[in-house]
Amino acid sequence: MSEPTAAAPHHDYEKVLRDSAVEVASFDTGDKSVVQKFRNFLHSSPSAVSLIVLVTSLIIFGILLGGKFFNAFSLTLILQQVAITGIVGAAQTLVIMTAGIDLSVGAIMVLSSVVMGQMVFRYGVPVEIAIPCGFAVGALCGFINGFLIARMKLPPFIVTLGMWQIVLASNFLYSANETIRSQEIGATAPLLQFLGNNFRLGGAVFTYGVVAMVLLVALLWYVLNQTAWGRHLYAVGDDPDAAELSGVNVKRMLVSVYVLAGVICALAGWASIGRNGSVSPTVGQFANIESITAVVIGGISLFGGRGSILGMVFGALIVGVFSFGLRMLGTDVQWTYLLIGVLIILAVAVDQWIRKAAS
């Protein structure tokens, strides 16, 4: 292919081309200040900010509290305390990446766990079948969300706000707000408490619930980055019209995301039976807010299409470290809420600042 300058002009008016720029269009790679380079680094690795905050907060609480905080037992205890938020957060991450939001995650989680318990204790269903029933309920709730959002074109906020109330009310009506006690479950259906079992490595204690969260996040990380489904999810979140034009079935994509989110919430419900021992219809009241907090602090954009699921885990851990550390320091619990509020606003401010690097 010849350069424009090499070609002899056929017409007079083409002569002006002689003096025009000849290099191919390219990105601006010119000199940048350290701040700009840092900003570009953050833009290309969206979970870096939350990782930096997490490490910093670990160091600060480590200095303030010493060995009481900085030991294998305490640190793995924080992992246990955030495992459920982490699992629900994974569901929330998928939804938020499509530029949606799911306010019904906590309610779906509780209803699934109640169904698992009641199947065994009210209907005498074997526990091996009761647990899949709970997962099916989670998937059904997710499907209703997805159907209303993708097919009926209703806004995700409104749909899941409604489903939050509907699912929560169903949960209370169905269970009559009765708790199934830990001792009864332990005697009849210990499999329900499976994710609460633990193993030790030195001083560190890992519950299967923590392992489930880590495996789930690793799996989703792989799926989001290495599979067509994962790349389509990012594409739908970034620009659904462009994704549609590129051949992505946006509606089916959205429905599948909400169904998967429902299934993950059911997993969280199972994990919560393990952690609490009992099946209680009153747990998980703030799981939706906690999961959104983890996602936002984790640097995942609420406008969709950008962020890493690892960031959500770091976000959940930051909240866990702050809550645990501040309680160990003996401060009033309100300070925890106040600081987490500050973190949320900071995280979004940083996200906006990083976005400017793209423009």
Partner 1 sequence: MTKSILSAAVAALAMGVAFAAPASAADVSACLITKTDTNPFFVKMKEGAAAKAKELGVTLKSYAGKIDGDSESQVAAIETCIADGAKGILITASDTKGIVPNLKKARDAGMLVIALDTPLEPIDAADMTFATDNLLAGKLIGQWAKETLGDKAKDAKVAFLDLTPSQPSVDILRDQGFMMGFGIDTKDANRIGDENDPRIVGHDVTNGNEEGGRTAMENLLQKDPTINVVHTINEPAAAGAYEALKAVGREKDVLVVSVDGGCPGVKNVAEGVIGATSQQYPLQMAALGIEAIKKFADSGEKPKPTAGKDFFDTGVTLVTDKPVSSIKSIATKEALGKCWG
Binding site for partner 1 (CB under 8 A): 68, 74, 77, 80-81, 165, 168-169, 172-173, 176-179, 181-183, 196, 198, 205, 272, 275-278, 280-285, 324, 327-328, 330, 332-334, 337
Closest approach, Cβ 249 to partner 1, in A, equals 38
Closest approach, Cβ 177 to partner 1, in A, equals 4
- Segment holding 167, helix H or strand E: helix 156-175
Contact 236, 98 (CB under 8 A): yes
Q: How far apart are CA 29 and CA 38, in angstroms?
A: 14
Q: How far apart are CA 264 and CA 93, in angstroms?
A: 11
Closest approach, Cβ 67 to partner 1, in A, equals 12
DSSP-assigned letters across all residues of 173-205: HHHTTPPBPHHHHHHH-GGGGGGG-EEEETTEE
Closest approach, Cβ 99 to partner 1, in A, equals 29
Closest approach, Cβ 31 to partner 1, in A, equals 51
Closer Cβ to partner 1, 281 or 298, answer by number: 281
Closer Cβ to partner 1, 45 or 71, answer by number: 71
- Cα dist. 356→36, 92, 309 in Å? 10, 25, 22
Q: Which of 296, 303, 149, 300 is nearest to 221 (CA)?
A: 300
Closer Cβ to partner 1, 201 or 228, answer by number: 201
Q: How far apart are CA 240 and CA 100, in angstroms?
A: 12
Tokens representing residue 225 in the block: 């980055």
DSSP-assigned letters across all residues of 307-339: --HHHHHHHHHHHHHHHHHHHHHT--HHHHHHH
Torsion sign (Cα): 18, 19, 23, 27: negative
Contact 280, 193 (CB under 8 A): no
Residues 6+ apart with CB under 8 A from 118: 174, 175, 180, 279
Closest approach, Cβ 170 to partner 1, in A, equals 11
Report the length, in residues, of the chain: 359
Closer Cβ to partner 1, 77 or 344, answer by number: 77
Closest approach, Cβ 89 to partner 1, in A, equals 16
Closer Cβ to partner 1, 149 or 195, answer by number: 195
Closest approach, Cβ 162 to partner 1, in A, equals 13
